[in-house]
Amino acid sequence: MHQPLAGVYAAALTPINPDGTIAVGDLLRLLDYLARRGCHGSLLLGTTGEGTSFAPDERRAIFTAALGVRQSHPEFRLLAGTGTPSLEETIQLTRLAFDLGFDGVVVLPPYYYKKIPDEGLLAWYSQVIRRAVPTGGALFGYHFPGISGVGLSLELLSRLKDAHPQVFAGIKDSSGDAELASQLGQRFGGDLLVLTGSDRLFSHALQNGAGGCITALANLYSPDLRRLWEAYQGGDATVQAQAQERLSAARQVLERYPPAPPLLKAMLARLHGFPEWAVRPPLMPLPPPLAEQATLEFSQIA
């Protein structure tokens, strides 16, 4: 992968204390754990990180605290989720992330208004890029229409790349659409860095030109994601298929207990010894009987 930001990223959880405050020490412990288990980097405050549930000052605190991971893992890459419905707030958060030294930002479209024409999204993203992304920075569009209700069309991606070739880096594709993964490769080749958000489609995405992934399941299964990524680079189809089989099985368990943040927080506590962190309303903790059943199902994956 020739793109400097290609690789395996975790859509990191955000540790929250029982009183609702951010567990800063646990955040550094989580990022260290992810780095040691094969992640090239992490996305802070994406969907899995409950990003839309935090105020701007809380986001600043989380971004600032995350920088501490580089003391022990200097090459660990940090991406920031900065998209909000507010253009000005998105610009401020994006500028903050780059001022702090983050490697890139992953930006949801403004998701309150639906059926927005490409012209409006082009104008919105262009303002964010011109006013907040420095030379050498990387902005990724975040395509997750199943949650945001606002998708990023192939034509929009093409126009953004043409208008901002140096800093519009690519897309986090969390659509789970295999056909779209193929179309992205056919349309852009290596001109856009595609990071799939679907563990189940990881092999397929790589075979269609993607450069890596940003997934929720990486909080638990990053060694398998890294193994698959490296097997693809080395042309080892057997290892790639084995890793993909495990990831697909784990993804099936994940999807049986939605939404992902409370499930993954419960699993990290039970399987890897982390505290069982709280979630922000409107999310609710996973009921203990379901957590025990999910633990059993994850443990049975061969």
Instruction: Tell me whether residue 265 is one of the annotated catalytic residues.
Output: no
Let me know: does 300 contact 259? Beta carbons within 8 Å: no
The residue from 33, 94, 111, 172 that is catalytic is 172
The residue from 21, 64, 112, 113 that is catalytic is 112
Instruction: Tell me whether residue 82 is one of the annotated catalytic residues.
Output: no
Instruction: Tell me whether residue 161 is one of the annotated catalytic residues.
Output: no
The residue from 9, 33, 125, 142 that is catalytic is 142
HEC string for the chain? CCCCCCEEEEECCCCECCCCCECHHHHHHHHHHHHHCCCCEEEECCCCCCHHHCCHHHHHHHHHHHHHHHHCCCCCEEEEECCCCCHHHHHHHHHHHHHHCCCEEEECCCCCCCCCCHHHHHHHHHHHHHHHCCCCCCEEEEECHHHHCCCCCHHHHHHHHHHCCCCEEEEEECCCCHHHHHHHHHHHCCCCEEEECCCCCHHHHHHCCCCEEEECCHHHHHHHHHHHHHHHHHCCHHHHHHHHHHHHHHHHHHHHCCCHHHHHHHHHHHHHCCCCCCCCCCCCCCCHHHHHHHHHHHHCCC
Instruction: Tell me whether residue 257 is one of the annotated catalytic residues.
Output: no
The residue from 14, 47, 48, 84 that is catalytic is 47
* Among 151, 79, 56, residue whose Cα is nearest residue 111: 151
> Which residues are tagged catalytic?
47, 112, 142, 172
